[in-house]
Amino acid sequence: MSDSTAVRQTETIPEWKRREVDELVSFVEQFESVGVVGVAGIPSRQLQSMRRELHGSASLRVSRNTLTTRALESVGEGFEALTDYVNGQVALVGTDDNPFGLYKQLEESKTPAPISAGEIAPDDILIEEGDTGVDPGPFVGELQQVGASARIMQGSIKVTEDSKVLEAGEPVSEELAGVLGELGIEPKEVGLDLRGVHSDGVFFEPEELAIDADAYQADIETAAAHAQNLAVNAAIATEAVMPALVRTAAGNGRALGLDAAVENRELMTDLIARADTQLRNVAAQIDDEDALPEELTDIEPEPEPEEPVETGEESPEEEPESTSAGDADDNDDDDGDDGAEGLGAMFG
């Protein structure tokens, strides 16, 4: 086709079509994310209701497929990939939300609807066990004809067990459509069927958007926590890890200073408290009240504020028993004198 022929064809395009294409181009360019949605089978009243539900978060634009295709090709920048999905009854949807949020919103807006004869079942169709609420009559035979286990019981038609009457992907017969309508069963969902989305230079298909956002966020948070823990244990000095590393180092330094009894202004309070506890525990082991100052008599051992450091000394329970009463008397005298002298020197 020559350039002159192309110009003549362009000039023959009606003005209203040019305006429509320009408006479609403006529609595409004003949103962060633009997708193609199928609108087949949606009654006009329900479609208008969906428009109102989307108001404020997304916009819908219905036009002729040829004009929609021309507008997407005119915009370019990857939007032409959406033209592969412009077939049948479709519309453009635009939003400043991310594609995942758009997909979730469209899925949540779908509503149950009855299915007509000749339509393809989107999922297995099940008639559940229970009372149909229909009086005895020919309807029991219709149920049995479509494959449901039904019988007349206690003056009503009842389905005696859950019955799968059609598998997904099979066409619905007129008989089944009538039975489902009588029972009020709506086996399909009606709504905007997202076919593809273009956002920030990236094209997404519905399968890529069908994720559990809450579970995905929880996985990311768990991974981040594990990475933080690994970085702290490996002492990797990064901006995010440094506060935890400093706190860990400060704690380790304080524990070391307490164990080594380093005389430091920040540690003195804890050192004095530990020494006081140790002194009281020693005093609690002395039975001779005369060997103790008044403030240390009749006290019980107290737990030390920190983990006790093993000194290798034997506990009182491990001391060997005296072999004779005489030896015991001698030991008592010696212990009393030494204890009195030691504590006297300590407390003046």
pLDDT at residue number 289: 64
Q: Where are the domains of the chain?
A: 3-110+191-211, 125-186, 216-259, 268-347
CA distance 111 to 176: 21
Q: What is the pTM of this model?
A: 0.52
- Amino acid in the structure at residue 123: D
3-state secondary structure 175-231: HHHHHHHHHCCCCEEECCEEEEEEECCEEECHHHHCCCHHHHHHHHHHHHHHHHHHH
pLDDT at residue number 148: 92
Find out whether 143 and 181 touch, Cβ atoms under 8 Å: no
Percentage of residues of the chain with pLDDT beyond 70? 80
Q: Is 125-186 a CATH 3.90.105.20 domain?
A: yes
Select 3-110+191-211's CATH number: 3.30.70.1730, 3.40.50.2000, 3.40.50.800, 3.40.640.10: 3.30.70.1730
In tens, the pLDDT along 213-253 reads: 788 889 999 998 898 888 888 888 888 888 888 888 888 88
CA distance 129 to 281: 76
- List beta partners, residue 159: 130, 150
